[in-house]
Structure 1
Amino acid sequence: MSRAPRPLLPGARAAGPPTYEMLKEEHEVVVLGSGAPQSAAPAITTVINICGDTVVPDHVVWSLFNTVFMNWCCLGFMAFSYSVKTRDRKMAGDLTGAQSFASTARCLNIWALVLGLLLTVTFVILVSTGSLVIFETVSEMVKHYGGL
């Protein structure tokens, strides 16, 4: 087999092989488990701790739920606005500001949820007892005055 370079295209001229410069450094590769004797020097290990991004929850879904369903005194809407501010701060790289806004959003969400549940339960109790009182009053009137 001939070692002469062949052109890729039939009409092209054959050029010489490309020239590569030689590297001045040589690196020794040791294959583990090859039976080669180990050096007497202790192995040096390097541990690199990569800190992941600090997770700052923005509570947007919770705030949106409170805005739609538990928006008594506009606490859900305020929590939603702080959640959006948290996302903006995270995108800007200000983790301290993001944590501050996230804490405020969480606090507002808790208050909105608790207040919303209490007011909703109170409303249901008042409506149900009010309807019972109205029903009893109407039935007493029917007994007292007789059916018309």
Structure 2
Amino acid sequence: MNSEGYPSDSVPLQGRYEGFHGEPGGSAGVQYITVSVPPEPPRDHIIWSLCCLLYANPCCLGLAALIFSIKARDRKVVGDMEGARHYGSTARCLNIWATVLFSIMIVIFLIIVTTVLVQIKQAAQRYNLFNNNYRG
């Protein structure tokens, strides 16, 4: 099972010995074995798409990512690996955008809540300050 670019040869490392194979000082030929590993199947990112659909769905990007993930899985089942790779790549891009937008929305929400709480605390302190001064 050799590919065309790699011929199978035995190359002697040292002098020639006509004894049994496996004995010390025996034949010093090296055999090459070429193993062909099939390429990794394209990923469809369906779990990530489901999470983006359920939790982080700004601008319906999670839904679009899920649709492309399902298309990628269908292409993979049919055997069209290039089409599956294309749809999987699109689903990955949409998932990245959905995750980034959701993260930005969470950060903005936390900033707004913190700002509002600080302002409420300052207003309460001012209100108590005015009430304490006029009790006289």
Letter in 2 for 1:89: R
Structure 1 Cα separation of the partners of residues 60 and 113 of structure 2 = 23
Please say which structure displays the higher CA radius of gyration. Answer: 1
Query: Which residue of structure 2 aligns with residue 120 of structure 1?
Result: 106
What TM-score do you get using the length of structure 2 for normalisation? 0.67
Letter in 1 for 2:99: L
Which has a greater percent of strand? 2
Which residues of 2 match residues 2-17 of structure 1 at below 5 A?
none
- In angstroms, what is the RMSD of aligned CA positions? 2.9
Query: Which residue of structure 2 aligns with residue 97 of structure 1?
Result: 83
Does residue 1:87 correspond to 2:77, yes or no? no
Structure 1 Cα separation of the partners of residues 33 and 114 of structure 2 = 66
Contact kept in structure 1, 2:42 and 2:84, CA below 8 Å = yes
Query: Which residue of structure 1 aligns with residue 11 of structure 2?
Result: none
Which has a greater percent of helix? 2
Query: Which residue of structure 2 aligns with residue 10 of structure 1?
Result: none
Which residues of 2 match residues 29-68 of structure 1 at below 5 A?
50-52=36-38, 54-68=40-54
What TM-score do you get using the length of structure 1 for normalisation? 0.62
Contact kept in structure 1, 2:41 and 2:81, CA below 8 Å = no
Does residue 1:110 correspond to 2:99, yes or no? no
| Identity %, equivalent residues | 37
Structure 2: gaps spanning 5 or more residues: 1-19, 22-30
Count of aligned pairs between the two proteins: 109
